[in-house]
Amino acid sequence: MANPTPAQLHAYIAAGLGCDHLDVQGDGQHFYATIVSPEFDGLPRVRRHQRVYAALGERMREEIHALSMKTLTPAEWAAQGPAAALQAPAEHRH
């Protein structure tokens, strides 16, 4: 099975979760995502991550080796601005 691309992971998340902003970076095995969704409003971080995992479904077990994510509500995103984006460590950027 081929490793998914950041664009594919972006599409998977967007299909299962209403996002105001979604940025996915990665190398096919390790991914870094900043996800802004009104669905996160009132949820603690663990529940937000579970919501993303639910959107990814079985892909999380079968295709995606590692996913680091920053999950924000639209209000949190507006307060933090673009600096809130989760960046891949320099050694993983391509």
Where does the pLDDT of residue 91 fall: very low under 50, low under 70, confident under 90, or very high at 90 and above? very low
Q: Is the pLDDT of residue 1 over 80?
A: no
Tell me the per-residue pLDDT of 20-78, one tens digit each, with 9 for 90 and over: 999 999 988 889 999 999 999 999 999 999 999 999 999 888 888 899 999 999 999 99
Distance of CA 5 to the CA centre of its chain: 13
| Better-scored residue on pLDDT, 1 or 62 | 62
Note the pLDDT of residue 84: 64
Q: pTM here?
A: 0.84
Q: Phi and psi of 63, rounded to 5°?
A: -115, -30
d(CA 45, CA 87): 18
Contact 22, 85 (CB under 8 A): no
Exposure string of 12-26, with b = 16+ CB inside 10 Å and e = fewer, is bbeebbebeebbbbb
